[in-house]
Structure 1
Amino acid sequence: MTVDARHAIHTGRPAKTAWQRGRLLALGSVLVALLLVGHEYVPNRWGNLGSLVQSFLPWLGLAVPLGILAALLRRSALAVLAVLLPLAAWIWVFLPQIRAEATPPGDLTVVQHNVNAANSDVAGTAEVILAAEPDVVTLTEVPFDLAEKYDEALTEALPYHQSEGTVGIWSRYPLKGVRPVDILDESWNRCLRAVVEHDGANVVLYAAHLPSVRVGSGGFETEERNAGALRLADAVQAEKDETVVVAGDLNAVLADDAIAPLTNLVTAPTTGFEFTYPAVFPVAQIDHVLARGATVTDVRALPRTASDHLPVVAHIDTPWS
């Protein structure tokens, strides 16, 4: 005798059918589908709820297998049918990212890595970076006492180097016009601008580390990061050179509308899920290489180093290629 039948005997009510059971499960599936297709309408109130939802948006797809399991346990045909809604919503939102596309190799290879101040394995980190054969490397969170060791490890392949604060740029090509960019305050330099000279053309490069976000008593705390993104966007928008590359740890996914002032100015690859943080089990891509006036044809995560972030390598198709 089923649980519903026993309940019907005790209560004197008829047992629920498969189409009557699991109404709450079905409602949950509907809500997940609405979040997927309407995430940009979730307000950034109540502790920046909108940014939090957008940061982990792909993982809402887990509602599908969990919903199917719960529906089977509940023996609810209604809940099984309702699970099709978040499945369809997830496919509609993320199909462009999972569709395989042939991409040109590009003519400028950039590696970005938050090396982590607690990472003392400079040689191992440099080995992973150089294996990608980069033309330019941007590093963030470089500890002051290891900056010289990173320079020694990278300078043979990338002889042109500039650092400021905890941010560094190493390049195969000459650098000019190097200066810090104030995106937080003058006491901590977290952004460096340089012009990379390549084949008689210029690429303006920003190596940036936006402030971290926290989940605390106030919810998803993003105010400093958002302010830094706005300052970085102002700097990029003011550039007169057409080709601009932004590489760094932005502490945000590109879907987060809170950093739209920056992401509206640049483009990124439309395919792939290259989660970069935390390195032990990546759940979000917060390390990026973006471009204006050029095309980032491909971004992929590199093997793990001793950092809590994965490095990423990007191939960029520049106007002169």
Structure 2
Amino acid sequence: MARAYTAQESDLAAEGAETAADRPGAVDGRPARGGRGPGAWRRDWRRDWRGPGAWRRGWVVAALALLLCGVLALHARVPNAVGNLGSLVETFLPWAGLGVPLLGLCALLRRSLTALAALLLPAVVWFGMFGGLITDKTGDGGDLTVVTHNVDAGNPDPERTARDLAESGADVLALEELPARSTDLYRRTLAETHPFQAVEGTIGVFSKYPLRDTAPVDIKIGWTRALRTTVDAPRGEVAVFAAHLPSVRVKVAAGFTARERDDAAEQLGQAIAAEPLDRVVLLGDLNGTMNDRALAPVTAQMRSTQGAAGAGFGFSWPASFPMTRIDQIMVRGVEPVSSWTLPATGSDHLPLAASLTL
């Protein structure tokens, strides 16, 4: 037999039905089982960030952030004993900064305050190391404009490359990887703009100003890939070294094969250290970056024009998508005014340029 509801019970039942119908996910006045309203995820997001769980999650991401910080801050301690791993890391070290936004995205997805706090460390270290390269430090003027370019022995259009270099505005050009079959072509094409020329092996210096005391530099690799000459510039004489250090390779079994390059860098560093002139400019393809410890015999006594007066990293290789700066312009006793990369030629390297005050 049905029981009659009191007026109070009827009111309570109606209030309950109305509340259920208004719950998130209700359809046509009926609450959906397990339904969630459109604002539910926002409430969950805010609750996850405010709760203690935000500090308890994301330990793996935090550990990766600390590892990244260690690689950046202690890259010089990454051992070279196995496959020259340290030099390989240092060649592409600026790209380690990409790990910060990547891990930051992971931290946001994990809703982890711990991971975000840990990411501050590699971010600060990276900006401390490379932040100065991002800013534009280029100036105006200069007494001497120099250009270096690995013209590539397999260059399909050396004549075009020579014309581009002739029009670059350089006072002194250093060309590396000059093939025997194209050396005369470069000489002829550059003769009008750069009549003073010196070629030793696969290295050439082409100048608007007289050259003298030119001699090969023995970097102990069996053939000539470095030279030294004196440029009689209007503001005084300058010792110019042009060099192409041995190439390096990344091999699965052997790792980063750079021993010959490292030994040649030692020889080049000794030659520069023995240079009696106060003004010294080094132009060339060193197959290594300023961060690479193997180039310390050279980099310890010279300044990079890009670091001192450039804008950005000045990556030069590969020309199709530059990822590292293995071509260098370095100076001693000379003040860099500006430093930049030139447009691609037919080579797999980009040319580099710098304006100097003597």
Question: Under a length normalisation based on structure 2, what TM-score does the superposition of the two structures give?
Answer: 0.81
Instruction: State the alpha-carbon separation in 1 of the partners of residues 137 and 177 from structure 2.
Output: 34
Alignment-derived partner of residue 205 in structure 1: 240
Say which of 324, 339, 358 aligns to 1:299: 339
Check conservation: 2:246, 2:260, Cα contact below 8 A. yes
1:127 and 2:155 are equivalent in the alignment: no
Of the two, which has the highest radius of gyration? 2
Among candidates 183, 189, 193, match of residue 147 of structure 1:
183
Quote how far apart the aligned CAs of 1:147 are.
0.6
Q: Which runs of 5 or more structure 2 residues have no equivalent in the other structure? A: 1-33, 35-51
SS at structure 2 position matched to 1:279? coil
> Which residue of structure 2 lines up, in the alignment, with residue 22 of structure 1?
58
Pick aligned residue for 1:161 from 192, 197, 215 = 197
Partner Cα separation in structure 2 for residue 63 and residue 17 of structure 1? 24
Residues 181-205 of structure 1 show CA distances to partners (whole Å, capped at 9, x for unaligned) of 111334x210111111123721111
Render the CA deviation track for 1:21-73: whole Å, top value 9, x for unaligned: 22111100111112212222323222222211211111011001111222233
Q: Is the 8 A contact 1:289 1:296 kept in 2?
A: no
The residue number in structure 2 matching 1:81 is 117
Secondary structure in 1 matching 2:103: helix
Distance in 2 (alpha carbons) for counterparts of 1:92 and 1:292: 24
| Cα pair 1:290 1:296 within 8 Å, conserved | no
**Structure-1-length-normalised TM-score:** 0.89
Q: Which residue of 1 aligns with 2:249?
A: 214
Secondary structure, aligned partner of 1:19 = helix
Show the counterpart of 2:323. Answer: 283
Counterparts of 1:247 and 1:230, CA distance in 2? 16
- Residues 185-227 of structure 1, C-alpha deviation per residue, up to 9 Å, x if partnerless? 34x2101111111237211111100001111122211111111
Do the aligned residues in 1 keep the contact of 2:173 with 2:205 (CA within 8 Å)? yes
SS in 2 for 1:18: helix
Q: Distance in 2 between matches of 1:160 and 1:296?
A: 24
Which deviations, in whole Å up to 9, do the C-alpha atoms of 1:103-138 show, x marking residues without a partner? 343211111000111103123212332332000100
Report if aligned partners of 1:122, 1:153 keep a CA contact under 8 Å in 2: no
Instruction: Report the Cα distance in structure 2 between the residues aligned to 1:160 and 1:241, rounded to whole angstroms.
Output: 20
Whole-angstrom CA distance in 2 between matches of 1:49 and 1:297: 35
Structure-2 residue corresponding to 1:54: 90
The answer on whether the counterparts of 1:184 and 1:190 sit within 8 Å (CA) in structure 2 is no
CA distance in 2, matches of 1:176, 1:52: 38
Give the paired residue count.
303
CA distance in 2, matches of 1:54, 1:94: 13
Q: Distance in 2 between matches of 1:301 and 1:199?
A: 25
Instruction: State the distance in 1 between where 2:241 and 2:86 align.
Output: 27
In the alignment, the residues of structure 1 paired with residue 273 and residue 59 of structure 2 have an alpha-carbon distance, to the nearest angstrom, of: 50
Identity over aligned residues, as a percent?
A: 44
SS at match of 2:53: coil
- Offset at residue 88 of structure 1 (A): 1.5
Listed as ranges, the gaps of 5+ residues in structure 1 are: 2-15
